Amino acid sequence: MSLSKNELKMIAELLDCASNEFSNHSCNDYDVKNTPDNKKLLIDIVKWNEGIEGDPLDEDVIEEIENIKNKKSKTITYYDWVLMSYLAARCQEESE
């Protein structure tokens, strides 16, 4: 069963609200399992985030994510509020 456009819109609003709240926490770490799909997602999020900020793409961050598999780490740590902002934007896009 797919989510309705209304459900996606509500999820987007809730995630956006939570993202704003979480960005004010002293610790913004969220551990994501180190899988090829999650690494690709995080790289997409880095590109998306820097695109909306208008900043040049930080290739060092992308390279760091890509190289994590070589460190045999089971997780990748990234900012929780950025993840929520990205997912909120994606849900909002899908709800339109």
pLDDT digit string, tens, across residues 65-74: 777 755 677 8
The band of 54, judged by pLDDT with boundaries at 50, 70 and 90, is: low
Torsions phi, psi of 34, nearest 5? Answer: -80, 90
Strand, helix or coil for residue 91? helix
- The total number of structural domains in the chain stands at 1
Strand, helix or coil for residue 58? coil
Cα-based angle 42, 17, 49 (whole degrees, multiple of 5)? 30
**Highest-scoring range by mean pLDDT, 33-37, 46-50, 60-64, 85-89:** 85-89
pLDDT digit string, tens, across residues 7-45: 999 999 999 999 988 888 878 889 999 888 998 999 899
Q: How far is 36 from 22, CA to CA, in rounded Å?
A: 26
Q: Which domain holds residue 33?
A: 5-95
